[in-house]
Amino acid sequence: MNQPTITDADLQAYVDDRLPSARQADVETFLREHPDVAERVRAYAAQNAAIRTLHRETLDEAIPEHLLRAATGVGAPPKRAPWFLAFSSDGIAWRVAAGLVIACIGAMAGWAGRGTLVSEASAPQAGVTAEAAASLPRWAAMAHRVYSPDMKRPVELGAHEKPLLVKWLSRRLRTPIRPPTLSAFGYSLIGGRLLSGPQGPVAQFMYQDASGQRLTLYVSGEHTAAPREKEGSFRFAQEGSVNVYYWFYDKLGYALSADIPKTRLEPLAASACRQLETS
């Protein structure tokens, strides 16, 4: 009796259920007569099934914003050199764009002052003016909204130049400042930038987790009149989708902003607050 030749490719296609039914029957006959091969084929089918279970969760995860933006042609990854190191025309274009963004902040501040601030803070504590207390989270949230979605250049100086970043911002704010470590919460520092606040220079540090979620720490040196606040006396404000925890310490105003629920932001802010007060 003539037995059809079964090739290795037939066996593979059998595993993947891609054979025409006649050929499939031939393979099944062959496998009945070759239990060792049948055993292998079963193992291969089990591999397929097992591989299909790997990282299934990815299919149901929300697509990170930076990937959505990449798929729609908005923005590029923050892996090129900072603009002031790039001498390309692209770098120059960005300088102009950055100027416009800063101008936008100024323009936005005008009407932002009329916005509704959802704040759970009690009356501002002695020494911190009501105006300062209210404007800090608002400015911080606005800076968060402007810079954190930026894929191309979210920061001016990257975390790989942290010593330079810290030195630069400390010099501009005229006081030593240091970004806290939030890696215990899955957030790593990606860098920082200098901003213009209502009363002077502001440092913004940006952090990112593995999913691309970003949070920013806004450090304002404007509160020179504020006395030392009690440890942990931080407050919460909400600006649209941006949640902000903020506090004042040693002449500086701090605000941690993110588009994450208050309950998730709170331990991060508490940790940052503790670190900054003990550094």
Partner 1 sequence: MSGMSPKTDQQEPETDTHATGKPAIDSDSAQMVACIPRLRRYARVLLGDSGAADDLVQDTLERAWTRRHSWRGGGDMRAWLFSIMHNLHVDQRRRQGGLTVVINDEAPAPPARATQADTLELRDLDAALALLPAEQREVLLLIALEDMPYGQIAATLGIPLGTVMSRLSRGREKLRLLMSENTSQTVRRREAR
Whose tokens are 């450090």? That residue is 219
Residue 214 contacts residue 208 (beta carbons within 8 Å): yes
Structure tokens at 141: 């949230």
| Cα angle 49-55-58, degrees, rounded to a multiple of 5 | 130
Instruction: Based on the shown chain and the rule CB under 8 A, indicate whether residue 5 belongs to the binding site for partner 1.
Output: no
Per-residue contact string for residues 156-195; x = within reach of partner 1 by CB under 8 A: ----------------------------------------
Angle between helix 8-15 and 35-53 (nearest 10): 40
Per-residue contact string for residues 129-148; x = within reach of partner 1 by CB under 8 A: ------------xx--xxx-
Phi-psi region of 106 (alpha: psi -120 to 50; beta: other; left: phi over 0): alpha
Instruction: Based on the shown chain and the rule CB under 8 A, indicate whether residue 229 belongs to the binding site for partner 1.
Output: no
- Residue 159 DSSP label: G
Applying CB under 8 A, the span of 68-76, 126-134, 213-221, 229-237 interacting with partner 1 comes to 68-76
Instruction: Based on the shown chain and the rule CB under 8 A, indicate whether residue 278 belongs to the binding site for partner 1.
Output: no
Instruction: Based on the shown chain and the rule CB under 8 A, indicate whether residue 267 belongs to the binding site for partner 1.
Output: no
HEC letters along 91-132? HHHHHHHHHHHHHHHHHHHHHHCCCCCEECCCCCCCCCCHHH
Structure tokens at 25: 């029957």
Whichever of 193 and 249 has its CB closer to partner 1, that residue is 193
The DSSP line for 72-89 is TT----TTSPPTTT--SH
* Residues 70 to 109 in contact with partner 1, rule: CB under 8 A: 70-77, 97, 100-101, 104, 107-108
For 245-267, b/e burial (b = at least 16 CB within 10 A) is: bbbbbebbbbbbbbbbeeeebee
Whichever of 26 and 65 has its CB closer to partner 1, that residue is 65
Whichever of 67 and 92 has its CB closer to partner 1, that residue is 67
Distance in Å, CB of 152 to partner 1, minimum: 8
With CB under 8 A, what is the number of residues at the site for partner 1?
A: 68
Q: Which of 52, 126, 230, 261 binds partner 1 (CB under 8 A)?
A: 52
Q: Which of 25, 43, 164, 225 binds partner 1 (CB under 8 A)?
A: 43
Residue 10 DSSP SS3: helix
* Residues 193 to 212 in contact with partner 1, rule: CB under 8 A: 210, 212
Distance in Å, CB of 279 to partner 1, minimum: 28
Site residues for partner 1 per CB under 8 A = 8-9, 11-13, 15-16, 18, 40, 43-44, 47-48, 50-52, 54-56, 58-61, 63-77, 97, 100-101, 104, 107-108, 111-112, 114-118, 141-142, 145-147, 149-152, 210, 212, 238-242, 259
